[in-house]
Structure 1
């Protein structure tokens, strides 16, 4: 009876460890997805910043051209 009780306890411990492993795996997957989203968002912002900088530069060049144009 004691061996059976110890066996059941071990099986319960293994089941709990498996649940924790699944939870840890799910948490790792969620962290990976979050990191990917953050990386994607940062990349998108950098592209937006570059486009904005290019537009500002284009406008400055246009203004310089107008100022330097013969009157």
Structure 2
């Protein structure tokens, strides 16, 4: 997955979002249920803004006291 380019307009499906954030798809669903991320489309499979996913991941890391992605 490439994280270059204009991520404010890049949309990811659930699996792509999970891969980019280094989490499972279940975590993406949890973030959605908790209101941390919101899909941009109203119909079909959910799509998420890349920047929203990366911000949610960063906030989760900061709350957990981690400063970098786990390998």
**Fold similarity call, TM over 0.5:** no
Higher normalized contact order (CA 8 Å, seq sep 6+, divided by chain length): 2
Q: Which has the larger radius of gyration?
A: 1
Higher strand share: 2
Higher helix share: 1
